[in-house]
Chains A and B, each alone.
Chain A
Amino acid sequence: MSAQTAYDKAKAEGRAALVGYLPAGFPTRDGAIDALKTMVDAGCDVIEIGLPYTDPMMDGPTIQDAVHQALVGGVRVADVFRTVEAVAATGVPTLVMTYWNPVDHYGVDTFARDLASAGGAGLITPDLTPEEGGAWLEASDAHGGGQGLDRVFLVALSSTDERIEKITGVSRGFVYAASLMGVTGARTAVDTGAPRLVERTRAVIDKAGTGLPVGLGLGVGNGAQAAEVARFADGVIVGSAFVRRLLDAPDLASGLAGVRALTEELAEGVRATR
Chain B
Amino acid sequence: MTIDTARGAVPDATGHFGSFGGRFAPEALMAALDELAREFETAKHDPAFTAELDGLLADYAGRPSLLTEAKRFSAHAGARVLLKREDLNHTGSHKINNVLGQALLTRRMGKTRVIAETGAGQHGVATATAAALLGLDCTVYMGEVDTERQALNVARMRMLGAEVVPVTTGSRTLKDACNEAFRDWVASVENTHYCIGSVMGPHPFPMMVRDFQRIIGVEARRQCLELTGSLPDAVVACVGGGSNAIGAFHAFIPDESVRLLGFEAGGDGVATGRHAATLVGGSLGVIHGMRTYLLQDEDGQTQETHSISAGLDYPGVGPEHAWLRDSGRAEYREITDAEAMDAFSLLCRTEGIIPAIESAHALAGALKAGAELGPDATILVCLSGRGDKDMHTAAGFFGLISEDRGGTSGPAGREGNAE
Interface residues of A (CB under 8 A from B): 53-60, 64, 68, 71, 76-77, 100-106, 126-129, 131-132, 153-160, 163, 167, 178, 181-183
Point out the residues of chain B lying under 8 angstroms from A153, CB to CB.
Answer: 27
Rounded to whole Å, the gap between the CB of B24 and the closest CB of chain A is 5
Would you give the 0/1 interface string for B112-141, flagging 1 where the beta carbon is closer than 8 Å to chain A? 000000000000000000000000000000
Known contacts: A56-B179, A106-B300. The answer to whether A132 contacts B24 by CB under 8 A is: yes
Do B24 and A156 touch (CB < 8 A)? no
Main secondary structure of the interface of B (DSSP, over half): mixed
Point out the residues of chain B lying under 8 angstroms from A57, CB to CB.
Answer: 26, 179, 182-183, 288
Known contacts: A54-B170, A58-B186. The answer to whether A100 contacts B28 by CB under 8 A is: no
Do A182 and B186 touch (CB < 8 A)? yes
Do B301 and A182 touch (CB < 8 A)? no
- Name the contact of B300 in the complex, choosing from A101, A126, A182 (C-beta under 8 A): A101
- The distance in angstroms between the C-alpha atoms of A100 and B26, with both chains bound, is 11
Point out the residues of chain A lying under 8 angstroms from B182, CB to CB.
Answer: 57-58
- The distance in angstroms between the C-alpha atoms of A127 and B285, with both chains bound, is 13
Of all chain B residues, the one with the shortest Cβ separation from A61 is B169
- The distance in angstroms between the C-alpha atoms of A54 and B316, with both chains bound, is 14
Candidate in A54, A104, A128, A183 with the most chain B CB atoms within 10 angstroms = A54
Do B179 and A101 touch (CB < 8 A)? no
Do B302 and A158 touch (CB < 8 A)? no
In the assembled complex, 26 residue pairs joining A and B whose CB atoms fall closer than 8 Å, in A order, are A54-B170, A55-B175, A55-B179, A58-B182, A58-B183, A64-B169, A71-B301, A100-B286, A101-B286, A102-B299, A102-B300, A102-B301, A103-B300, A104-B284, A105-B299, A105-B300, A127-B24, A127-B289, A129-B24, A131-B23, A156-B26, A159-B30, A181-B28, A181-B188, A181-B189, A182-B183
Known contacts: A105-B296, A182-B187. The answer to whether A54 contacts B302 by CB under 8 A is: yes
Known contacts: A56-B179, A60-B183, A183-B186. The answer to whether A101 contacts B287 by CB under 8 A is: yes
Of all chain A residues, the one with the shortest Cβ separation from B300 is A105
Candidate in A59, A77, A105 with the most chain B CB atoms within 10 angstroms = A105
Interface residues of B (CB under 8 A from A): 14, 22-32, 169-170, 175-176, 179, 182-183, 186-190, 283-289, 291, 294, 296, 298-302
Point out the residues of chain B lying under 8 angstroms from A132, CB to CB.
Answer: 22-24, 291
Of all chain A residues, the one with the shortest Cβ separation from B183 is A183
Point out the residues of chain B lying under 8 angstroms from A183, CB to CB.
Answer: 183, 186-187
Point out the residues of chain B lying under 8 angstroms from A105, CB to CB.
Answer: 283, 285, 296, 298-300
- The distance in angstroms between the C-alpha atoms of A181 and B183, with both chains bound, is 10
Do A104 and B301 touch (CB < 8 A)? no
Do B14 and A131 touch (CB < 8 A)? yes
- Name the contact of B30 in the complex, choosing from A58, A60, A102, A129 (C-beta under 8 A): A129
Given contacts A101-B287, A105-B300, A163-B30, 11 further A-B contacts (CB under 8 A): A55-B302, A101-B300, A102-B300, A104-B285, A106-B300, A132-B22, A132-B24, A156-B28, A158-B32, A178-B27, A183-B186
- The distance in angstroms between the C-alpha atoms of A173 and B73, with both chains bound, is 65
- The distance in angstroms between the C-alpha atoms of A163 and B288, with both chains bound, is 22
Candidate in A53, A68, A154, A158 with the most chain B CB atoms within 10 angstroms = A158
Of all chain B residues, the one with the shortest Cβ separation from A130 is B27
Of all chain A residues, the one with the shortest Cβ separation from B169 is A64
Rounded to whole Å, the gap between the CB of A60 and the closest CB of chain B is 7
- The distance in angstroms between the C-alpha atoms of A153 and B285, with both chains bound, is 20
- The distance in angstroms between the C-alpha atoms of A132 and B319, with both chains bound, is 15
Closest 4 CB pairs of A and B: A105-B300, A182-B187, A156-B28, A102-B300
- The distance in angstroms between the C-alpha atoms of A59 and B28, with both chains bound, is 13
Of all chain A residues, the one with the shortest Cβ separation from B28 is A156
Do A54 and B301 touch (CB < 8 A)? yes
Point out the residues of chain A lying under 8 angstroms from B14, CB to CB.
Answer: 131
Point out the residues of chain B lying under 8 angstroms from A160, CB to CB.
Answer: 31
Point out the residues of chain B lying under 8 angstroms from A159, CB to CB.
Answer: 27, 30-31
Point out the residues of chain A lying under 8 angstroms from B289, CB to CB.
Answer: 127
Do B299 and A155 touch (CB < 8 A)? no
Rounded to whole Å, the gap between the CB of B374 and the closest CB of chain A is 42
- The distance in angstroms between the C-alpha atoms of A250 and B419, with both chains bound, is 52
- The distance in angstroms between the C-alpha atoms of A154 and B183, with both chains bound, is 16
Do B25 and A127 touch (CB < 8 A)? yes
Rounded to whole Å, the gap between the CB of B27 and the closest CB of chain A is 4
Rounded to whole Å, the gap between the CB of A216 and the closest CB of chain B is 14
Point out the residues of chain B lying under 8 angstroms from A68, CB to CB.
Answer: 169-170
Of all chain A residues, the one with the shortest Cβ separation from B170 is A54
- The distance in angstroms between the C-alpha atoms of A163 and B301, with both chains bound, is 30
- The distance in angstroms between the C-alpha atoms of A181 and B29, with both chains bound, is 9
- Name the contact of A158 in the complex, choosing from B189, B287, B299 (C-beta under 8 A): B189
Do B30 and A158 touch (CB < 8 A)? yes
Of all chain A residues, the one with the shortest Cβ separation from B14 is A131
Of all chain B residues, the one with the shortest Cβ separation from A52 is B301
Known contacts: A57-B183, A102-B301, A104-B300. The answer to whether A128 contacts B24 by CB under 8 A is: yes
Of all chain A residues, the one with the shortest Cβ separation from B304 is A54
- The distance in angstroms between the C-alpha atoms of A181 and B316, with both chains bound, is 27
Do B28 and A158 touch (CB < 8 A)? yes
Point out the residues of chain B lying under 8 angstroms from A102, CB to CB.
Answer: 299-301
Do A154 and B27 touch (CB < 8 A)? yes
- The distance in angstroms between the C-alpha atoms of A129 and B301, with both chains bound, is 21
- The distance in angstroms between the C-alpha atoms of A57 and B298, with both chains bound, is 20
Candidate in B31, B183, B189, B190 with the most chain A CB atoms within 10 angstroms = B183
